Amino acid sequence: MDLITVLLSFVVILFLAIAFKTQNQGKYKNFPPGPKPLPIIGNVFSLDMSKPHKTFMELSKTYGPVFSVQIGMAKTVVLCGYEAVKDALINHADSFSDRPYAPVTEKFAKNNGVVFSNGENWKVMRRFTISTLRDYGMGRKTIENKIIEEAECLVQKFKSYKGKPFNNLNSINAAVANIIVAILLSHRFDYEDPTILKLMAVVNENARLLGSPWIRLYNSFPLLMRWLPGAHRTVAGNRREFQDFIRATFTKYKKNLDVNDQRNLIDAFLAKQQEENEESTQYYHNDNLTVLVGDLFGAGIETTSATLRWGLLLMIKYPEIQKKVQNEIDKVIGTAQPLMEHKKKMPYVNAVIQEFQRFGDVLSKVTPRVASRDTTLKGYFIPKGTRIIPVLHSIHKDKEYFEKPHEFYPEHFLDSQGNFKMSETFIPFSTGKRSCPGENLVKMELFLFFTSILQNFTLKASPGAKLDLTPALGTTNSPRPFEICAISRN
């Protein structure tokens, strides 16, 4: 892209900014307060574009739980604290359930799938997703058995290292991926299979890049940056490669489809296509299937794997807590296979699992929303079209609800008698109409994988390693790569 084109793009943005300001100058009366923006670029230079939730936490101390920032030309309302987030996502769910337009995701989603779609398409795809996950996974003994079988494969993989240091990222990713693959494709990949390794690499790279400052800038200034090289091109290429794999897969499945013997989510979707009614024609098309499978595959791997790896890292960091976990496993399960029925008898393990979800803070902020109508929230006027960012980090790190918010402290979820206790302010899967549809599946995976690993191994750091609890950069707060030594307990 030459300099003249860049300058012309900049001029276009300038005129758009002036027009935008003129059209909306009377619309923001009683709008939430916030730092004064600069022309065109807004508050970009005052935000930590790598970890914006950190800046949001600081700004909330000055402007309160509902405040505004301007990123580029877009006014954005930020919500910090449980009451503000709950008010928006529960009490005003109909106003704040839509996704805003984002150039980098619009390139591949185009209002398809379930994560980035809106309107009736989102409603239809979410209903289908929840019902199909229920049919082929969540809450059924069949998927529990698959997780148990996969946990045993993971244990054997850990044993193969014979106590020597290894990076657990690929093994954990592959184990978690195989659960969602079982639901989507009725298939299981070996941990060294080049196909699953490539798919995981694509998902992991996009998860990292989509949280990068470059992508945030691209979404804010698409006219200026669309022709420049950068992370947005890598993300687009990765997504195309992934979608090509999905299309080839369901094309093959379509040839062998038996609507009376539906084996997985892709079969169920293809069977819907054959109904040939109005809903089938309008929503159950191949583009929707391609994006939906990608949504579920990505979401089914990244957050669950990151959360489980936080659990392992924290067990290494706090060996005394690891020992208490193992003592409860030995007492309740012994050498038998961990099952979901054991969960209700294990208050300490439950508390530890919820605490490493809270501490890890994998989803530090909810994927942005947009106001679908003019709304009043906490006394402020939120115009239709305003971006909304609910910050989960502000809830899970709030000393009002958690005694030691910046420490790993399982007692946050135990009462004075050592019984497990829930907290309404623990919402790692978000809340409201856009909450994670696979929540129950993830809970099963975390319990069965975590207890199986701790039943069989004592986890230690590799010799001389310094454990870093600072999250890596990305759309999720994943732990930085670390090696472990899995010492067999048998």
The residue behind tokens 């609890």 is 469
What does 288-324 look like in DSSP terms, one character per residue? HHHHHHHHHHHHHHHHHHHHHHHHHHHHHH-HHHHHH
What is the Cα–Cα distance from 69 to 74, expressed in whole angstroms?
A: 9
Query: Which of 89, 98, 183, 139 is closest to 435 using CA atoms?
Result: 89
Comparing C-alpha atoms, which of 98, 94, 63, 69 is closest to residue 81?
63
Cβ neighbours of residue 271 closer than 8 Å, sequence gap 6 or more: 257, 259, 262
Give dist(CA 309, CA 138) in Å, integer. Answer: 22
- Dihedral, 313, 316, 321, 325 alpha carbons, nearest 10: 80
Query: Quick one: tokens of 433?
Result: 């109409």
| C-beta separation of 359 from 426 below 8 A | no
CA nearest neighbour of 48 among 77, 31, 69, 67? 69
First to last CA, the chain: 62
* Region of 190 on the Ramachandran plot (φ > 0 left; ψ -120 to 50 alpha; else beta): beta
Q: Are 271 and 257 in contact (CB under 8 A)?
A: yes
Residue 97 one-letter amino acid? S
Name the region of 163 (left: φ>0; alpha: ψ -120 to 50; beta: rest): left
Write phi, then psi, for 448 (nearest 5 degrees): -70, -40
Say if strands 380-382 and 375-377 run parallel, antiparallel, or are unpaired.
Answer: antiparallel
Q: Is 80 marked within a binding site? A: no
Q: Contact 153/451 with Cβ under 8 angstroms?
A: no
**AA letter at 450:** F
Q: Hunting for tokens 């961990």 — which residue is that?
A: 338
Q: Distance between CA 371 and CA 387 in Å, rounded?
A: 7
Residues comprising the binding site for heme? 436
